[in-house]
Chains A and B, each alone.
Chain A
Amino acid sequence: MGGIKVDLGLCTGCSLCAKQCPFGAIEIVEKKAVITDDCTMCGACVDACHFNAITREVAQKEAAPDSSGVWVYAEQIEGQIASVVYELLGEGRKLADSKGELLGAVLFGSEMEEAARDLIAFGADRVYLLDDPQFFNYHDELYAMALSELIGKEHPEILLLGATTIGRSLGPRVSARVGTGLTADCTGLAIDPENGMLLQTRPAFGGNIMATIVCPSHRPQMATVRPKVFQSAARDPNRTGEIIKVDSPQVTLRSKLIERVREQAENVNLQEAEVIVAGGRGLVDEKNFKLLEELAQALGGVVGATRAAVDSGWISYPHQIGQTGKTVSPKLYIACGISGAIQHLAGMQSAETIIAINKNPDAPIFQVAHCGIVGDVFEIIPALLAELKQ
């Protein structure tokens, strides 16, 4: 078993490690660092120590089995390919090229030949197509079985899924069946130039810290990837590739889909919007969101909100942006009365232009904003509306 070890000869009791530990698992006892039972062995203290007094021993793992190819799971709903798939193809293409391997797309559905050819146009070298009416709708057990069998047959090295409600249900089921690692909700992917491993970076601890995770000796290296983080692949209709037919698995199902219901009214299209006007605690009251709606309308955008505003009941959950809401990357993001809690920043900081209006000049939102106004939203927005109307 591995663990965090403190070399008492080198430890000076400076407490740098204790301050850095995200889990509060280091105490300084008689001028020496002591690792407590709260330790999760994340290794943050190893980097924090200036005296090389802390090491992390990892049990020796065997070499990874033979595998090749970067795969993207091409999620579809009622025959429609999910937009995150194009982002995965864009990022997957880069990973495949830097490893000198093929990019595969896995498509399960019914009557999806044309969609399969389109995945080639978006960068896939190979499409593994399972075309069966039984696969028209997503089904946890059925899809997990089919994907696990395909992995067992083809041995891909990397498998990316969208961090959608489907991907985050299918991914862990498949990784448990195959017995490999899965990193959730990644916002950064790269290939380690030294050993070719996939470096998977994700926010952790409520978005307060970022963690880079590897899967050294199990294959495939699986990750779910947050939508709207990576750029979509470009479509090239002249690209060529191969479509490989996949057989349906034999499986006894213990669950069944009774119906799918769309609730368009509640569906705020935040993730597709080019302009978002968002409000936070500084708006003070539900009725002030009217002001944001006016501004959003003037700019052709939609209204978003922080968790604080949603929790206060000023606006409904589908408008929520941040760690526990949606991730967005519009062309323009106007943050009104938003202080910029880290959980909120996690959901919007990749916007092309961020404009912040806040009374408090020290609000963290100004650290990510391109343009800031220190002032009262109730004065600025009406003045801005008047200007825009001219």
Chain B
Amino acid sequence: MQIIVCLKQVPDTTEVKINPETNTLMREGVQSVINPFDMYALEEGLRIKESLGQGEVTVLSMGPPQVEDSLREALSLGADRAVLLSDRAFAGADSLATAYTLSRGVAKLGEFGLIICGKQAIDGDTAQVGPSLAEQLDIPHATYVRKVQSVDEEKMVVERMTEDGYEVIELAMPTLITVLKDINQPRLPSLKGKLRAKKAQIEIWGKEDLDVEEERLGLAGSPTQVVKIFTPQRARDCRVLEGTAEEMAKVLAQELKKII
């Protein structure tokens, strides 16, 4: 079975801090990493391939040329093939245009059984590209998958997390799932994998390589537009208590009794 894992390179947002004086982002030393959720998607793809005993895992990404580094990392972990959709015309895409571009990449890859995406990317946090991609490819999908119960060439059964538990869903192939961190524990790259990844060829496809409608790409193909970016204001007069622990506790206890 052909398995496609969608992967996004993101700035490591957990390392980003706000400069309290200027209220702006401090980006120094913030690395670009593979979106953490996508590492679980890749691991699940590799495990499914191994359990079926055949097939190929292709990692597919869209982004600027430096995403090659992340794709090489995915190859070192065991992906068989890496394709990067990269073109100035793809830039500024919202989730709809991104999913469209990815769907055209998938179409060029040919027949497939399963697409796996991470739950969401940690920079945009939209969680929209997966389901949108499924719709644009006209295949079923399941989001928030925490476990694959079974999978074969015809169908798969997954557990999808909900607010109060989970659902067991059966999907006919080809299909798409987005996965949670609970699903597995990603492996580390092997030395052999690293050496192979170093030499591997990463295919880069631009808009000329894809069968696309140009008006559906990038900023021009995005129905949504960002009109304003700002850092949240948080100025509140905090009443700071003083004294010994016992004195402060006394004042606080009185305050609490007023509230509840």
Task: Mark A residues whose CB is within 8 Å of B.
Answer: 1-3, 19-24, 37-44, 47, 58-59, 77, 140-141, 144, 164-166, 168-169, 171-173, 175-177, 179-185, 199, 203-206, 208-218, 253-264, 266-267, 274-275, 299-300, 323, 331-332, 342-343, 345, 349, 353, 355-356, 361, 364, 366-376, 379-380, 383-384, 386-388, 390
A257 to B66, CA, bound (A): 41
Q: When the two chains form their complex, are residues A171 and B218 in contact, meaning their CB atoms are under 8 A apart? A: no
Task: Mark B residues whose CB is within 8 Å of A.
Answer: 11, 13-14, 16, 18, 20, 22, 24-25, 27, 30, 64-66, 88-89, 91-92, 94-96, 99, 122-132, 134-136, 139-144, 157, 160-172, 175, 218-220, 222-232, 234-241, 245-246, 248-250, 252-253, 255-257, 259-260
Which of A257, A353, A361 is B169 in contact with, Cβ under 8 Å?
A257
Q: When the two chains form their complex, are residues B169 and A43 in contact, meaning their CB atoms are under 8 A apart? A: no
| Given A140-B141, A209-B25, A383-B249, CB of A172 within 8 Å of CB of B131 | yes
Point out which of B139, B225, B253 has the most chain A C-beta atoms below 10 A from its C-beta: B225
Q: When the two chains form their complex, are residues A24 and B143 in contact, meaning their CB atoms are under 8 A apart? A: no
Which of B16, B134, B252 is A371 in contact with, Cβ under 8 Å?
B252
Q: When the two chains form their complex, are residues B165 and A261 in contact, meaning their CB atoms are under 8 A apart? A: yes
A165 to B236, CA, bound (A): 33
Within 8 Å CB of B132, what residues of A? 172-173, 175-176
CB of B121, distance to nearest CB on chain A (Å) = 10
Q: When the two chains form their complex, are residues A206 and B250 in contact, meaning their CB atoms are under 8 A apart? A: no
Secondary structure type dominating chain A contacts: mixed
Within 8 Å CB of A144, what residues of B? 135
With both beta carbons as reference points, the residue of chain A lying nearest to B214 in the complex is identified as A1
Q: When the two chains form their complex, are residues B224 and A215 in contact, meaning their CB atoms are under 8 A apart? A: yes
Q: When the two chains form their complex, are residues A371 and B99 in contact, meaning their CB atoms are under 8 A apart? A: no
A384 to B94, CA, bound (A): 50
Q: When the two chains form their complex, are residues B96 and A173 in contact, meaning their CB atoms are under 8 A apart? A: no
Q: When the two chains form their complex, are residues A274 and B260 in contact, meaning their CB atoms are under 8 A apart? A: yes
Which of B65, B130, B134, B245 is A376 in contact with, Cβ under 8 Å?
B245
With both beta carbons as reference points, the residue of chain A lying nearest to B255 in the complex is identified as A371
Which of A140, A342, A387 is B140 in contact with, Cβ under 8 Å?
A140
Q: When the two chains form their complex, are residues A386 and B127 in contact, meaning their CB atoms are under 8 A apart? A: no
8 contacts between A and B (CB under 8 A): A3-B92, A3-B219, A22-B27, A176-B132, A211-B228, A257-B168, A263-B165, A371-B241
| Given A181-B222, A376-B245, CB of A205 within 8 Å of CB of B123 | yes
Within 8 Å CB of B123, what residues of A? 204-206
Q: When the two chains form their complex, are residues A208 and B240 in contact, meaning their CB atoms are under 8 A apart? A: no
Which of A182, A213, A253, A254 is B226 in contact with, Cβ under 8 Å?
A213
Q: When the two chains form their complex, are residues A43 and B170 in contact, meaning their CB atoms are under 8 A apart? A: no
Q: When the two chains form their complex, are residues A367 and B226 in contact, meaning their CB atoms are under 8 A apart? A: no
| New contact pairs (15) apart from A1-B220, A206-B13, A264-B165, CB-CB < 8 Å | A39-B92, A77-B163, A165-B160, A181-B222, A181-B223, A206-B16, A212-B226, A212-B230, A213-B226, A216-B225, A258-B157, A260-B166, A260-B167, A370-B237, A387-B253
